[in-house]
Structure 1
Amino acid sequence: MSDKPLRSRGWFGKTGKDGFIYRAWMKNQGIPAHQLQGKPVIGICNTWSELTPCNAHFRELAESVKNGIYEAGGYPVEFPVMSLGETLIKPTAMLYRNLVSMDVEESIRANPIDGVVLLCGCDKTTPALIMGACSVDIPTIVVSGGAMLTGKYRGHDIGTSDIWRFSEDNRAGHMSDEDLYTAEACMARSRGHCAVMGTASTMACMVESLGLSLAENAAIPAADSRRKVLAHLSGNRIVDMVREDLKLSDILTPQAFENAISVNAAIGGSTNFIIHLLAIAARIGVDLNMDDFNTIAKKIPLLANLQPSGQYFMEDFYYAGGLPALMKELRDVLHGDTITVSGKPMSHNYESSECFNRDLIATWKKPFNEVAGIVVLKGNLCENGAVMKPSAASTELMIHTGRAVVFEDIEDYKNKINDPNLEVDETNVLVLKNVGPKGYPGMPEVGNMAIPKKLLDKGVRDMVRISDGRMSGTGFGTVVLHVSPEAAVGGTLAIVQDGDIINLDVYAGTLHLDVSDKEIAARKERLTLHTNIAKRGYVHLYQTHVEQAHLGADFDFLKGGSGSEVVRDSH
């Protein structure tokens, strides 16, 4: 039990005019006076929105959290922040991740909150909420929304990863528009986020492996009543965390980040994991860089047989034992003594777990795939790094040399990709420029470019593709992403021309443009950058302050945190 006074007493414990105002206006909601006197006030940061379908059940989930808070002797206050729905928001949810983090940070700091529960699900809501909470650093626990149930289409299990397959089959004439329409309802048949190991599920696994949630948070399906139970228990626990003064900075140690990297390798997590984890580390003050992802995860095989790298779905993963069962297989490489939100070491979360399906969760000695996780590539085409996901790539393309077919921006790509006169064959390397953080802006999920129509018709289903953009965690293929520096700031990617030879060697971790240093320098001298900085508003702020992908694409003025102290009183 901590002797530290409750932060909320700085509001509700005041006397005179200030205390009168703070308490009186809360009482207009029918709150008895004793609820504001000495009880931990717990904020429930809710990303519910009907424009974020993955999070549309969060009002109900928040009620379970509230019940847990009341039961443990706390007082819950639910508050909204901007919600990011990956499926609807334009131009990309990533553009607004940093904005939401600022919303969260200031909402927590400015209000009488002693601890906070973060309700997050769809891709960017999880890192945004954690980033904002890290900058304040009060007791915090995360409750994820859970994945939707596995889709069922004409006798087959389907999930979000099948969208890419269906799209290519439709473009190739193997799937009708009517069949595509029918598959829509078959895939998204319950509440929750993507049913595969996409970015949303990767973020839920990241949360649990960092120690920011109770055990089993990552994989309980959204429609399973046990998701509500976990929310209730999280409400219980956050009250105790306040009493113990167990903060994010106590949990998010360098060892916790190493655990998350190891787990991400074993589950075949999204490439987006890197960019979000880097941003979170910078907010909490942990020194993490791109090379760490190769070093830490180098010897870890793929243990989870989950789409898009494998066969099964998140619902199956939970029934097989979930993340605790997989982490138990990693126990010899994990830091089991790192503290978690439970107040107990990480090993406590998995030491008694069991695996009920070895076809889904493999053993360390007999992994599902020796090639796992995310590889960071280096070379003259990506001086500060690029990323790819070997477990979702084609083995025959892991070492590849090909002629570049270049698209200068997303509009150039859209205009050419289905052109029968496009000079391209399956040995070529597709290169897409100016879709990075500053160039697009916001770094959209367009890196897994469609296969040119003329090659689809020949049966080609994968090619080496390179860009400074991102890829949906549900996507797959031999796709190199996050090239840094991006084209819009004059990175080498900007000067790649049609016909240039590009060498990719995933095993060696290299990406090389076969052009002399002298020629590269000369081309950069002649280069006209494509960055069009917005003249007003948030987009202007974003483009003038966003850092490159290898630094997490956060704002340069948001590194570290400014703590929980309010600058000055308001009355």
Structure 2
Amino acid sequence: MKSSLAKEGLARAPHRSLLKASGFTDWEIARPWIGVVNAYNSIIPGHTHLNRLAEGIKNSVYGHGGLPLEFPTIGICDGIAMNHEGMKFSLPSRELIRDSVEVMARAHALDALVLLTNCDKIIPAMAMAAAELNIPAIVISGGPMLAGRHKGKDIDLSNIFEAVGKRTAGLIDDAEVEAVENACCPTCGSCAGMFTANTMNCMMEALGLALPGNGTIPAVLSARDRLAKEAGRYVMMLLEKGIRPRQILTKRAFLNAAAVDMALGGSTNTMLHLPAVAHSAGVELTLAELDAISARTPHLCSMSPGGSHHIQDLYGAGGVQAVMARLLEKGLIDGGTLTVTGRTVAENLEGVTVTDETVIRPLDDPYHAQGGIAVLRGNLALDGSVVKQSAVAPEMMVHSGPARVFDGEEAATEAIMAEKIRSGDVVVIRYEGPKGGPGMREMLTPTATLAGMGLDRSVALITDGRFSGASRGASIGHVSPEAATGGLIALVEEGDTIEIDIPARRLHLAVSDEELQRRRQAWQPRLPETKSSFLDRYRAFVTSGAQGAVFDR
């Protein structure tokens, strides 16, 4: 056991004395040391209940012969950080969380980890740490929020963002905004649609790093408490059998997860986080590979924000395991990969069936023939860009229009709210990439405002930043190379024609090579001031969105 480095022999008497000061007995100290990483804070609604689950995990670990040693991580609520300086810190927090878990585990010679998480960047950060440390580990989420109810319909966080746009356009009044505000987030848990948090919790299950049910059991159900206890039991089994994350996080496992993502129509942020987790596991996962999987994987679930179903509906239909069982039928995933149950994917799926085919469609009757996400390339995105094609209106799959250019999200939002954007426009928001922002901000406010104003069917939005999983419409993000490193998006001028062809995977700036050469000669790099030493350090080391925005070693 790794913990023997910190507890055995004469030289470790001082170490044992410090543990005894914490109340641990000799026979407890002799047990395997299991780190319980608790991402609780009282700000994120997806995390406010994690202490309850942590108790279940610790009791289970203790009951199965381990010594649970709990420690925290930070976490940012993307919804609260949205559309102001706070969002610059969201993606960078992923690397900080990953590092903090590694620091604690290595400094204290922990034998295994249970990683309790729930939202956006915290989930992939935990998985990255598990892959980097490569000690027995299991991820357990806090589970999704239930959808709210308003005027007989299920609603979620995206509805209140869109209500802002509706109010701006005069389509609803203040009382309706308040009613939606009060109804859309009714319980603790990660926001109820297939946004980034829930997508990533589903990805943990699809990768095999979390137990079946991790992605979809609602936060408020007792089944979530039982799953937490099972996580404590299974981590002790992983330790006993010597099963480590890199035995689970193989190339085949990542391809499985990508196929599940495409079938679910998940958040575009998986195109950052899956490659980042793969990088930590020593696996190369490219945008081209992910796009190829999308091309052959049918879109089976119409989840909010692109569709009407919520995570509770997916849970009732059989959850992620039912989606995987359906994909396994046609060989669209590999059933031979190992999971934290100690069994293979195929063994986990024995007897699993879809219980509601209105939520999980048959393979021969999908919502779309291709998966939920597409990678576009062209002169405007030589290294790639990403769009959630399952949430794009049919009339916007091919679009050409004049560029409306903004340096930063605030300027674009101001123009949208002032109703200066017209049908047919292509809104370009630049200097929001990993280095340019820095931090690659999510832009739910402009996309949701356009949707609320009814412009999502006639206006496209392109950025070197990224979008919330709650965004819908022709929202093309992750444009690489980004403006701050001299990508072509930096040279776009007001009125230029931009051509979008999602089926053909094409994003093109219709400006002559001669004119672009003239503009490049006059271009000067622009890096917005951060006033933050943390963001300055992040900017210095971060790679492009096409590489998962990981640190350059």
**TM-score bin (small chain):** over 0.9
Output one character per residue of 1:26-54: Cα deviation in whole Å (capped at 9) or x when no partner: 112322210111x2211011110012221
Match of residue 312 from structure 2 = 315
Match of residue 267 from structure 1 = 264
CA distance in 2, matches of 1:148, 1:319: 14
CA distance in 2, matches of 1:501, 1:184: 38
The structure 2 residue matched to 1:138, chosen from 129, 135, 155, is 135
Quick check: 1:7 aligned with 2:6? Answer: no
Measure how far apart 1:522 and its partner are. 2.0
Pick which of 342-351 and 479-488 moved more: 342-351
Quick check: 1:521 aligned with 2:517? Answer: yes
SS for the counterpart of 1:444 is: coil
Match of residue 560 from structure 1 = none
CA distance in 2, matches of 1:490, 1:246: 45
Amino acid at match of 2:500: L
Amino acid at match of 1:492: L
CA distance in 1, matches of 2:312, 2:346: 24
Match of residue 562 from structure 1 = none
CA distance in 2, matches of 1:374, 1:246: 32
Quick check: 1:86 aligned with 2:82? Answer: no
- Work out whether residues 206 and 257 of structure 2, in 8 Å CA contact, stay in contact via their aligned partners in 1: yes
SS for the counterpart of 2:139 is: strand
- Work out whether residues 160 and 184 of structure 2, in 8 Å CA contact, stay in contact via their aligned partners in 1: no
Measure how far apart 1:518 and its partner are. 2.5
CA distance in 1, matches of 2:508, 2:121: 31
Match of residue 214 from structure 2 = 217
- Work out whether residues 377 and 506 of structure 1, in 8 Å CA contact, stay in contact via their aligned partners in 2: yes
Measure how far apart 1:416 and its partner are. 2.5
Match of residue 189 from structure 1 = 186
Amino acid at match of 1:293: L
Pick which of 114-123 and 425-434 moved more: 425-434
Structure 1 residues 263 and 108: CA distance shift in structure 2, 3 A: same
Measure how far apart 1:536 and its partner are. 5.8
Pick which of 101-110 and 170-179 moved more: 170-179
Amino acid at match of 1:553: A
Match of residue 552 from structure 1 = 548
User: Counterparts in 2 of 1:369-448, with a 5 A limit?
Assistant: 369-419=368-418, 422=420, 424-446=421-443
Measure how far apart 1:417 and its partner are. 2.5
Match of residue 492 from structure 1 = 488
Structure 1 residues 494 and 509: CA distance shift in structure 2, 3 A: same
User: Counterparts in 2 of 1:256-405, with a 5 A limit?
Assistant: 256-331=253-328, 332-405=331-404
SS for the counterpart of 1:503 is: strand
Report sequence identity in percent.
36
Amino acid at match of 1:412: A
The structure 1 residue matched to 2:32, chosen from 32, 40, 65, is 40
Number of matched pairs:
546
- Work out whether residues 392 and 474 of structure 2, in 8 Å CA contact, stay in contact via their aligned partners in 1: yes
Amino acid at match of 1:33: D
The structure 1 residue matched to 2:534, chosen from 533, 538, 547, is 538
Match of residue 567 from structure 1 = none
Measure how far apart 1:168 and its partner are. 1.9
Structure 1 residues 56 and 459: CA distance shift in structure 2, 3 A: closer
CA distance in 1, matches of 2:288, 2:214: 29
CA distance in 2, matches of 1:323, 1:224: 17
SS for the counterpart of 2:15 is: helix
- Work out whether residues 429 and 462 of structure 2, in 8 Å CA contact, stay in contact via their aligned partners in 1: yes
Quick check: 1:24 aligned with 2:23? Answer: no
- Name the TM-score, length of structure 1 as normaliser: 0.92
Quick check: 1:250 aligned with 2:247? Answer: yes
Measure how far apart 1:470 and its partner are. 0.9
CA distance in 2, matches of 1:74, 1:348: 27
Measure how far apart 1:508 and its partner are. 0.9
Amino acid at match of 1:366: D
Match of residue 59 from structure 2 = 67
Amino acid at match of 1:407: F
CA distance in 2, matches of 1:522, 1:207: 47
SS for the counterpart of 2:296 is: coil
CA distance in 2, matches of 1:309, 1:441: 28
- Work out whether residues 445 and 472 of structure 1, in 8 Å CA contact, stay in contact via their aligned partners in 2: yes
SS for the counterpart of 2:35 is: strand
Measure how far apart 1:468 and its partner are. 0.7
Measure how far apart 1:418 and its partner are. 3.4
SS for the counterpart of 2:352 is: coil
Match of residue 468 from structure 1 = 464
Match of residue 51 from structure 1 = 43
Measure how far apart 1:73 and its partner are. 1.2
- Work out whether residues 294 and 370 of structure 2, in 8 Å CA contact, stay in contact via their aligned partners in 1: no
- Larger helix percent: 2
Gapped regions of structure 1 (runs ≥ 5): 1-5, 558-571
Measure how far apart 1:451 and its partner are. 8.0
Gapped regions of structure 2 (runs ≥ 5): none
- Name the TM-score, length of structure 2 as normaliser: 0.95
Measure how far apart 1:139 and its partner are. 0.7
SS for the counterpart of 2:80 is: coil
Amino acid at match of 1:210: L
Amino acid at match of 2:277: I
Match of residue 564 from structure 1 = none
SS for the counterpart of 2:176 is: helix
SS for the counterpart of 1:129 is: helix
Measure how far apart 1:449 and its partner are. 2.6
CA distance in 1, matches of 2:218, 2:406: 40
CA distance in 1, matches of 2:299, 2:239: 37
Output one character per residue of 1:354-376: Cα deviation in whole Å (capped at 9) or x when no partner: 22211001111111332432101
CA distance in 1, matches of 2:456, 2:380: 26
- Work out whether residues 546 and 556 of structure 1, in 8 Å CA contact, stay in contact via their aligned partners in 2: yes
CA distance in 1, matches of 2:34, 2:356: 39
CA distance in 1, matches of 2:261, 2:199: 7
Measure how far apart 1:402 and its partner are. 1.2
- Work out whether residues 395 and 457 of structure 2, in 8 Å CA contact, stay in contact via their aligned partners in 1: no
Amino acid at match of 2:26: A
- Work out whether residues 447 and 480 of structure 1, in 8 Å CA contact, stay in contact via their aligned partners in 2: no
Measure how far apart 1:127 and its partner are. 0.7
- Work out whether residues 108 and 133 of structure 1, in 8 Å CA contact, stay in contact via their aligned partners in 2: no
Measure how far apart 1:85 and its partner are. 2.0
SS for the counterpart of 1:449 is: helix
Output one character per residue of 1:233-272: Cα deviation in whole Å (capped at 9) or x when no partner: 1100101111211111111110000001100000000000
Output one character per residue of 1:3-43: Cα deviation in whole Å (capped at 9) or x when no partner: xxx11111111323xx1221111112322210111x22110
Amino acid at match of 2:158: S
Quick check: 1:117 aligned with 2:109? Answer: no
